[in-house]
Structure 1
Amino acid sequence: MILKVYQPESPILKRYIECFYILEKTAAEKPITYFTFPSIYSIVTISAQTSTFVTADKIITTHCPTAPIETNLVCDFNQPVLISYDGKINEITTYFKPLGLNAFITDDLRHYTAGTFPDFNPYDDYKEAMTSILSLMDHQERIKALEAYWISKLRPFADPLLENVLGEMLDTDNLNQSITTLSRKIGRSRTTINKHFDQHICKSPSQFKKIVRFRAAIQSQLDNKDNLGLSYHVDYFDQSHMIRDFKKLTGFTPKVFFSKIAALERDEIKWIFI
């Protein structure tokens, strides 16, 4: 398997996109199975000659030479999911920052999320363009072409309320700030905040906040490997709170989770292989 992560080269796209990754697997390689975990990003995946079977907690992708391109969006991802690849795979995934994808689509993000694993086809030329990009052999050329496509679709988008709320939530000094406290601080009701989150992020504020804290704990532990048992605890009210969140978001206790996790490509990708 080849797994390569690329940061956006375009200064414009750096504001909206966290990273791209290319995943390739040959037909001769054994099937790959791993758990992936909730994130705050909107995730857009394109793959050639594949057929994907989806349930609430499992995504199985197999090579299918006669299948058209698959283009999928995941943004309401709030529990661990088992991913499996079988056969030849040619795939590119884009991680859009919170509110990032909204600047490239014509409707609210929620509009594109009907179904368990919705087909994502935001423009008439989208699938044709993605098919052409996947056919490029050179990885750098693929990413360059993908960036050019997204830049061509950039449109004005602004939600001052959400930008304010996200600024508060993503500040590591505020990881334990309650939604009620945040609502009072910015002077808007929880109902209004919830509505904006549902329209443009497809998570509730509490789900988003829980994932931010969880991901901060993972990164803290990866940055302090010699301090196991302490570094990832600092952002939780107490140990029982930490264990409860980890079990909900990963299916594992923190101790088991950190004993199994594989951090790939400079810690950008965090999976547990089966």
Structure 2
Amino acid sequence: MNIQHYKTKNRILRNYIDGYYFMEKGKSGSAVHYLTFPNNLCIVSTTQNADVKIGREKIVVTPSKKKRITTDLVVRYTKPFEVVYEEPTNEITIKFKPLGLNRFIENISDYFSDGFYMDFQPFDDLNEEMQIIFDIADRNKQIERLEMYWLSKLNTIELSRLEKILDDVETEISITEISKKHNISRQYLNKIFQKNLGKTPSEYRKVHKFRKALLDFQKVKNLTALSYESLFYDQSHFIKEFKSLTNIKPSSFFKNIDSNKEIAWLFF
């Protein structure tokens, strides 16, 4: 499978976009099958000449004889997500940071209610522009055109208060204390989180700690030390929370996963 990851090049977009995945159709027609695990990013994927079906914890991509561009959004999943490509296809995936996509789309909550959104077209020219980008042969020029397009959609949206709340949720401060600190009820905190991030503060924190553990594992190989490094109470709490998001014990997960700073996939 030919999937390549690229970091965001434009210094402004780096504030909102974590990076990109490019998949190429290639000569091999072999199926691709893997598990991906919960994260707090907003994933926008555009495929060329393929049919995409998103079901309960599963995405299936099949080749299509029709020339088409399909864009979908995945913002929330709390269990491993199974991804199946019947054969590799041309696909570009943009990884938006938490609150990143909000800078480009005003009514973002319209797309967050189900955790994913098929036929995601927040702009009338999105699919047309993506077709142009697919037709560019040079990868650097593809990324340049992609970033120019998203820069053209950037809005001045005031999110500083929500960013401060988000910073607190990524710490060990209790959700109740965060509500008090910002003079809002816990119910209202849940409401603004679901509206702007597609999940509750507790869910966001749980996934954040899991993802922190994946990064910390690069330097802390001992599970006990990793538990405390990643803000868990103790090792038993770490194992319980980790397994609830992956269905796998941490010891088995780290032995089998393709894990680094960019990806965490389990291939079949």
* TM-score, shorter chain, exceeding 0.5: yes
**Structure 2 residue ranges without an equivalent (≥5):** none
Report the counterpart of residue 264 of structure 2 in structure 1: 270
1:39 aligned counterpart, secondary structure: coil
Q: 1:123 to 1:258 in 2, by over 3 A?
A: same
Q: Is 1:110 aligned to residue 106 of structure 2? A: no
Report the counterpart of residue 152 of structure 1 in structure 2: 152
Task: Please say if residues 43 and 74 of structure 1, whose CA atoms lie closer than 8 Å, have aligned partners that are also in contact.
Answer: yes
Report the counterpart of residue 91 of structure 2 in structure 1: 91
AA aligned to 1:241 is: H
**Structure 1 residue ranges without an equivalent (≥5):** none
| Between 238-247 and 89-98, the greater mean CA deviation after superposition | 238-247
Task: Please say if residues 26 and 87 of structure 1, whose CA atoms lie closer than 8 Å, have aligned partners that are also in contact.
Answer: no
Cα separation, 2, equivalents of 1:244 and 1:24: 38
Alignment of 1:153-172 (within 5 A): 153-170=153-170
Equivalent position to 2:226, from 210, 224, 232: 232
1:222 aligned counterpart, secondary structure: coil
Equivalent position to 1:252, from 241, 244, 248: 248
2:46 aligned counterpart, secondary structure: strand
Instruction: Note the C-alpha offset of 1:26.
Output: 2.6
What TM-score do you get using the length of structure 1 for normalisation?
Answer: 0.91
What TM-score do you get using the length of structure 2 for normalisation?
Answer: 0.93
Alignment of 1:189-204 (within 5 A): 189-204=185-200
Per-residue deviation, residues 3-36 of structure 1 (Å, max 9, x unmatched): 2211221111011111111122435242111110
Cα RMSD after superposing both structures: 1.7
AA aligned to 2:94 is: T
Cα separation, 2, equivalents of 1:24 and 1:136: 13
Identical positions, percent: 35
1:11 aligned counterpart, secondary structure: coil
| Between 109-118 and 120-129, the greater mean CA deviation after superposition | 109-118
AA aligned to 1:252 is: I
1:70 aligned counterpart, secondary structure: strand
2:188 aligned counterpart, secondary structure: helix
Aligned length: 265
Q: Is 1:20 aligned to residue 16 of structure 2? A: no
Per-residue deviation, residues 189-242 of structure 1 (Å, max 9, x unmatched): 212211111111101100000011111111111223xx3323421121123322
2:195 aligned counterpart, secondary structure: helix
AA aligned to 1:250 is: T
Cα separation, 2, equivalents of 1:255 and 1:25: 34
Cα separation, 2, equivalents of 1:238 and 1:32: 37
1:223 aligned counterpart, secondary structure: coil
1:91 aligned counterpart, secondary structure: strand
Alignment of 1:15-54 (within 5 A): 15-54=15-54
